[in-house]
Amino acid sequence: MHVIDSHTGGEPTRVILDGGPDLGSGPLAERARRLATDHRDAYRAIILEPRGQPAMVCALLVPPVDPDCVTGVIYFDAEAVLGMCGHGTIGLAATLFHLGRIGTGPQRIETPVGIVTVDVQDANTVTVTNIESRRIASDIPVEVEGFGTITGDLAYGGNWFFIVDPAPVPVTSGNIRQLTDVTIALREALKAAGIRGDDGGAIDHVIFHGPSDRPGIHSRNFVLCPDNAYDRSPCGTGSSARLACLAARGQLAEDTEIVQESVIGSSYRLSYRIASNGGVFPKITGQAHVMAESRLIFDPKDPFRGGIFL
């Protein structure tokens, strides 16, 4: 299995070029479901320690249905197959550029939730135009055991997010452990309360926003992912959901650019175009760097061949 590892604002992406599970043909959403249900052990072996690393997202390349797309891709983390992944798409574009498969300029990429476009500016800088993103509910109070009532918005950006602003815990790198504990408890409370997306999807990502101490930054975020890791980048699908919330609140005008910072200080430039039925089309510009080209070995004699899962 050949893979290329990159990071986008500190968040790792492993692009699987060949040797992945055979998912057959058909719509990408169906192939993603097959990956989730029939190949869970196989995909987790690629991403779990010791072969993978915490916070990693894998990008499994598959043939697209739409021949105008440069590739199809299915993203997954150690816990779940994702609808879309913004940092992963920036990493994927930088990887395809590194391989000479694409040059600068626009390209279409097919994902299980729809077609996104990437505009490659140089070897590292990529703008993603995401699928339509939308807020479906605002100011939902949730009772979180040990932490009281936490209020947030429910929004979709290719994955489902519960977005809290202002955060009940200061969003600083020194608070990552506490931020992780509170957001996990909040995600569990959302699940227990039966709060889901309007397509029945689980709310498996949580975002806390707080102020940044750097000039020109709109806010700093902490993003909890399904595998309980926090996103080192500002999270592309989370930033998309956030843009939908800012637009719905009238707090950000169309085509106005803001800078979103992550809890470790990496950043994306964000803006949106209004969609015809109430949502927004987010634009996310970030930087990725290729780190390694490897061949993964799955030795039958290796007791941790399938990864460490506790």
CB environment 60-78: b (16+ within 10 A), e (fewer): bbbebeeeebbbbbbbbbb
Q: CB nearer to ligand PYC: give 89 or 107.
A: 89
237 binds ligand PYC (CB under 6 A): yes
Judged by CB under 6 A, which stretch of 31-39, 102-110, 190-198, 230-238 contacts ligand PYC?
A: 230-238
Instruction: Indicate if 58 belongs to the active site.
Output: no
Q: CB nearer to ligand PYC: give 80 or 140.
A: 80
Bond into 215 cis (ω within 30): no
Number of residues forming the site for ligand PYC (CB under 6 A): 12
Q: CB nearer to ligand PYC: give 46 or 194.
A: 46
Distance in Å, CB of 250 to ligand PYC, minimum: 25
Judged by CB under 6 A, which stretch of 45-53, 167-175, 225-233, 269-277 contacts ligand PYC?
A: 225-233
Q: CB nearer to ligand PYC: give 235 or 252.
A: 235
Q: CB nearer to ligand PYC: give 36 or 151.
A: 36
Name the active-site residue from 69, 225, 235, 245. Answer: 235
Distance in Å, CB of 89 to ligand PYC, minimum: 8
Q: 């729809």: which residue's tokens?
A: 114
Task: Tell me the sheet residues that pair with 14.
Answer: 5, 58
Question: Site mask, ligand PYC, residues 83-122, x = CB under 6 A?
Answer: --xxx-----------------------------------
- In whole angstroms, give the CA distance from residue 124 to residue 286: 8
Residues with Cβ within 8 Å of 73's Cβ and at least 6 positions away in sequence, in order, are 59, 60, 61, 62, 88, 89, 92, 109, 110, 111
- In whole angstroms, give the CA distance from residue 85 to residue 57: 8
Joined tokens for residue 215: 């000039």
Question: Site mask, ligand PYC, residues 51-80, x = CB under 6 A?
Answer: ------x-----------------------
225 binds ligand PYC (CB under 6 A): yes
Question: Site mask, ligand PYC, residues 18-57, x = CB under 6 A?
Answer: ---------------------------------------x
Judged by CB under 6 A, which stretch of 118-126, 148-156, 228-236, 295-303 contacts ligand PYC?
A: 228-236
Judged by CB under 6 A, which stretch of 81-89, 147-155, 187-195, 269-277 contacts ligand PYC?
A: 81-89
Instruction: Indicate if 225 belongs to the active site.
Output: no
Name the active-site residue from 69, 85, 225, 245. Answer: 85
235 binds ligand PYC (CB under 6 A): yes
* Residues near ligand PYC, by CB under 6 A: 11, 57, 82, 85-87, 225, 231, 233, 235-237
Active site residues: 85, 235
